[in-house]
Amino acid sequence: MRKRVYLVVAVVALALVAQSLFASLQAAQQQAFNGQRALADIEYQLALGPRTPGSAAHANTVEWMLRSLRAAGWGTEVQETEWLGQPVRNVIAKRGEGAPWLILGAHYDSRLSADFDPDSAAHIHPVPGANDGASGVAVLLELARVLPPDLPGQIWLVFFDAEDNGRIPGWDWIMGSRAFAQSLSEHPDAVIILDMIGDADLQVYYEANSDQNLRTEIWDTAAELGYADLLVPSVRHSMLDDHTPFIELGIPSVLLIDFDYPYWHTRQDTLDKVSAHSLQAIGDTILAWLLGRAD
Ligand SMILES: [Zn+2]
């Protein structure tokens, strides 16, 4: 009788070892978010030049995003429309079917005028947009590479055009996301927007208009990963950004932004102001949150 007990214990122990081996094998297959690769994607966008609407750099960015997304196995579309008489080209990558339906978004355009530059002669020039524009695109593209293809439901990655030209005659803020939101015949379960999340001195506070439950989930995930000093769970700013049109439709939406950025809308919004570590913190957090939802 005693022998049989030992045998049962041994079999159970073996099963547990096998199970944990299998789990760690699965974990190893899950690709990690690579902050350095995301930083290289910011460098690439800056090398193209300011991605202002109508520029060659803008068109080249669209082509590059489409190539990168297809190479990572995503289906792609371009929404070609207009808003306030200006052309709008939103790039959309899709994967999966059914519910839950999540949209992750960032704007890819850069502002026509560096009108917050201390040098007034710079105001007629566009912003380089390392943090304001390129950082959100970089995190979304790296997520496109590392997200497992078999997550439940569907994920859309949306790269919004024409976010950043408010207070300029003939333009407005968030034109691309307004056109996109208006075109939706059904509503996603949640929308997560990334904007200005690459600052080397990163503190992303709760944004006042964002959905409180989603906000808590994402910031709790960051704290579990050891990023509590970068994602700070207290409200600081209230923003009009690409999450706004979705909030107006009643869709739970969250904006991640560090709006305390001294180089905002200046010609100093350059590569040396952003860091791989900040991109890593945001990428790790969003990836872990998405994987946690899938469990
Ligand atoms: Zn901006």
Same domain, 14 and 113: no
Range of the domain at 82: 33-294
Same domain, 50 and 15: no
129-183 residue pLDDT tens: 999 999 999 999 999 999 999 999 999 999 999 999 999 999 999 999 999 999 9
Which strands, in side-by-side order, build the sheet including 154-160?
Answer: 75-83, 86-96, 154-160, 101-107, 190-195, 253-257
Residue position matching structure tokens 């690459």: 198
Q: How far is the CA of 265 from the centre of ligand 1 (A)?
A: 6
Same domain, 117 and 84: yes
Q: How far is the CA of 24 from the centre of ligand 1 (A)?
A: 42
Same domain, 164 and 23: no
On the question of pLDDT at 229 being above 70, the answer is yes
Confidence of residue 30 (pLDDT cuts 50, 70, 90): confident
**C-alpha separations of 94 from 144, 149, 159, 176 in Å:** 10, 11, 12, 18
Same domain, 25 and 54: no
Confidence of residue 51 (pLDDT cuts 50, 70, 90): very high
Same domain, 171 and 203: yes
Q: How far is the CA of 262 from the centre of ligand 1 (A)?
A: 12
Same domain, 119 and 149: yes
Q: What is the pTM of this model?
A: 0.90
On the question of pLDDT at 105 being above 70, the answer is yes
Q: What is the pLDDT of residue 206?
A: 98
Neighbours of 82 (CB within 10 A): 12
Q: How far is the CA of 8 from the centre of ligand 1 (A)?
A: 64
Q: What is the pLDDT of residue 267?
A: 97
Sequence-distant (6+) residues with CB within 8 A of 185 are none
From the list 280, 242, 282, the residue with the least C-alpha distance to 103 is 242
Same domain, 124 and 227: yes
Q: How far is the CA of 124 from the centre of ligand 1 (A)?
A: 15
Q: How large a percentage of the chain has pLDDT more than 70? A: 90
Same domain, 245 and 289: yes
Q: How far is the CA of 224 from the centre of ligand 1 (A)?
A: 30
Return the SS3 of 252. coil
Confidence of residue 240 (pLDDT cuts 50, 70, 90): very high
Same domain, 102 and 204: yes
> Distance (Å, rounded) from C-alpha 35 to C-alpha 44?
14
> Distance (Å, rounded) from C-alpha 4 to C-alpha 11?
10
2-25 residue pLDDT tens: 666 666 666 666 666 666 655 555
Q: How far is the CA of 116 from the centre of ligand 1 (A)?
A: 10
Q: How far is the CA of 183 from the centre of ligand 1 (A)?
A: 24
Q: What is the pLDDT of residue 294?
A: 84
Total structural domains within the chain: 2
Same domain, 26 and 146: no
CATH number at residue 135: 3.40.630.10
Residue position matching structure tokens 């579309």: 77
Same domain, 6 and 130: no
Q: How far is the CA of 164 from the centre of ligand 1 (A)?
A: 5
On the question of pLDDT at 84 being above 70, the answer is yes
